[in-house]
Structure 1
């Protein structure tokens, strides 16, 4: 064999050996199913911490909690966690026509008040009408906080009904949806009601509520 043939023979042997090494490496990098193996750093971890700007969440219910119709965290107020009162806003000696209804959150968590006090006497054809211009966003009450609604008992119409209590129900996010059984609220004396009675939406400002009825 000439010197040139010997060089070519060695080159061919090196090429064959390189191909065998490459094939061996490819086999080690592949699993039995032909898919590439992943290193521990590539595998998702069930206990990994959230990245910056993200928050860890559990189940959807645990993560979002209960919400009101406005999407805020919290739940509807229940009558069992509230205290109610009604105060006279007229001068002493005059017939009681203007009342301020006050509700206090006596519970340990915040809650939402929706719409307006649903006031309907047992024998009445319909509940006391709401003053639509007083509509506002749902009221969120933290423990100890108060909300108000103004009540005009009589508008100078016929069919007067005298009473010293009034039944009040809480509503849900949809107008007219009763969320609770009626609670009898003590009034500051005998109050004459007629078909002209009106009530405002709940608000956290007593003066704002009264503004809608004091001129009537």
Structure 2
């Protein structure tokens, strides 16, 4: 009889355990619809968005970002097209009160689209002068100009007391978007002011970076080393 009672107790305990297991299994679908049940399914999606080359949501998000980036790049490229000799004219202005030591370059967009003047003008003075002149200390900011708008660059032609040479011609080439590259345009023949059939330059004339503000360009020009 003891054996029978032991078997009955064992059977009862086994039945109770099975009932508990079935009850726990029956609760699982309900848990998936509860607030705590969404956590396991959210975790893989978050991982996918940060894993390179991941599928599912991560891939869709990555594709969307890439598309937006490509559109932004295309828009930036279109907006920052370099000005060329075909859509820019350049005039000059002298400052007689300082013995014609300074010269202002005024570039006007004569085209029908906005373009950008990058860095500083590449100025040459004909075959009698070696190479283009260097930039003076000034704001290094590209100048985007719409049709009809202007940008300015100031020049220091010579220092007081320095030996000078007379030049009768001047050209300006425009730089492209890539720094330290060859000029992006052909040389533009720049007429000298009517009151000056020639210019005096020393062995190290300087030019400022392009600026849409004439006042700022003149400020840099007159503050150039030994240029006051």
TM > 0.5: yes
Kindly state the Cα deviation for residue 124 of structure 1 after the two structures are TM-superposed. 2.6
TM-score, scaled relative to structure 1: 0.63
Are 1:97 and 1:152, in contact at CA under 8 Å, matched by a contact in 2?
Answer: yes
How far apart are the structure 2 equivalents of 1:163 and 1:88? 15
Find out whether 1:80 has 2:54 as its counterpart.
no
How far apart are the structure 1 equivalents of 2:187 and 2:73? 33
Which residue number corresponds to residue 151 of structure 1?
A: 155
How far apart are the structure 2 equivalents of 1:176 and 1:206? 27
Question: Residue 165 of structure 1: SS of its match in structure 2?
Answer: coil
Q: Which runs of 4+ in 1 moved over 4 A?
A: 60-63
Kindly state the Cα deviation for residue 84 of structure 1 after the two structures are TM-superposed. 0.8
Structure 1: tracts of 5 or more residues without a match: 1-53
Q: Which has the higher strand share?
A: 1
How many residues align? The count is 153
Deviation string for 1:170-207 (max 9, x for gaps)?
01131353111111111121210111311000001111
Which residue number corresponds to residue 89 of structure 1?
A: 95
Q: Which has the higher helix share?
A: 2
Deviation string for 1:66-120 (max 9, x for gaps)?
71xxxx72311111111110001232xx631111100000111001110101012
Which residue number corresponds to residue 24 of structure 1?
A: none
Question: Residue 148 of structure 2: SS of its match in structure 1?
Answer: coil
Find out whether 1:178 has 2:183 as its counterpart.
yes
Are 1:164 and 1:186, in contact at CA under 8 Å, matched by a contact in 2?
Answer: no
Structure 2: tracts of 5 or more residues without a match: 1-63
Kindly state the Cα deviation for residue 126 of structure 1 after the two structures are TM-superposed. 2.8
How far apart are the structure 2 equivalents of 1:124 and 1:115? 22
Match of 1:206 among 211, 214, 218: 214
Which residue number corresponds to residue 128 of structure 1?
A: 133
Question: Residue 203 of structure 1: SS of its match in structure 2?
Answer: coil
